[in-house]
């Protein structure tokens, strides 16, 4: 594997991917979904079954717990973009890691990621 041309291609792909990350800085780790809500106004029709919505919510992990964050209509685009940005950055990092492994393997003597018996024993200690 790994002609000089292929390795240069991988390096160029890696640089292009990393260059995209700064523009994806407004990211949020979560998911978005819509749901119907019951409000806190006493006597509101939502308490007798006619719930408000659908409204968009973000499902996020905050301080180690799963939370729901209400998203106002005016911020729906921003919320979707933020979740998408997070997923794009994750995909970029996975691909860059894959490229780095290929570049690393091209430099490493004794190619391959097979475990030898010795290193398998070492790992069990
Ligand atoms: Zn209500």
Tell me, yes or no, whether 44 lies in a domain: yes
Give 85 Cα–ligand 1 centroid separation in angstroms: 33
Extract long-range pairs of 102-110: CB within 8 Å, 24+ residues apart.
102/1, 102/2, 102/7, 102/10, 103/7, 103/10, 103/11, 103/14, 105/1, 105/2, 106/1, 106/2, 106/7
Tell me, yes or no, whether 45 lies in a domain: yes
Contact 70, 57 (CB under 8 A): yes
Percent pLDDT > 90 in the chain is: 74
Tell me, yes or no, whether 124 lies in a domain: no
**Burial classification of residue 109, based on how many CB atoms lie within 10 Å of its CB (0-12 exposed, 13-18 middle, 19 or more buried):** exposed
Tell me, yes or no, whether 116 lies in a domain: no
Could you give the CA distance from residue 121 to residue 119 in angstroms, rounded to a whole number? 5
Cross-strand pairs, 61: 66
Give 35 Cα–ligand 1 centroid separation in angstroms: 14
Tell me, yes or no, whether 36 lies in a domain: yes
Here the tokens at position 100 are: 């780095």
Q: Which domain holds residue 97?
A: 4-110
Give 33 Cα–ligand 1 centroid separation in angstroms: 20
**Where do the H-state alpha helices sit in the chain?**
4-20, 76-107, 117-124
pLDDT at 61: 86
Tell me, yes or no, whether 122 lies in a domain: no
pTM for the model stands at: 0.74
pLDDT at 78: 96
Give 54 Cα–ligand 1 centroid separation in angstroms: 12
pLDDT at 117: 62
User: Each residue of 4-50: pLDDT tens digit?
Assistant: 899 999 999 999 999 999 999 999 999 999 999 899 999 999 999 89
Give 3 Cα–ligand 1 centroid separation in angstroms: 65
Total structural domains in the chain? 1
pLDDT at 3: 87
pLDDT, greater one: 116 or 61:
61
């Amino acid at each position: 594997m790994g002609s000089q041309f292929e390795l240069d291609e991988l390096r160029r792909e890696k640089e292009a991917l990393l260059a995209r990350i700064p523009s994806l800085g407004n990211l949020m780790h979560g998911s978005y979904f819509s749901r119907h809500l019951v409000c806190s106004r006493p006597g509101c029709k939502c308490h007798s079954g006619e719930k408000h919505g659908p409204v968009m919510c973000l499902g996020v992990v905050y301080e180690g717990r799963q939370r729901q964050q209400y998203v106002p209509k005016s911020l729906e685009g921003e919320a979707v973009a933020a979740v998408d940005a997070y997923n794009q950055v994750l995909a970029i990092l996975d691909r860059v890691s894959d490229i780095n492994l290929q570049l690393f393997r091209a430099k490493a003597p004794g190619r391959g990621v097979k475990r030898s018996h010795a290193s398998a024993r070492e790992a069990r200690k």
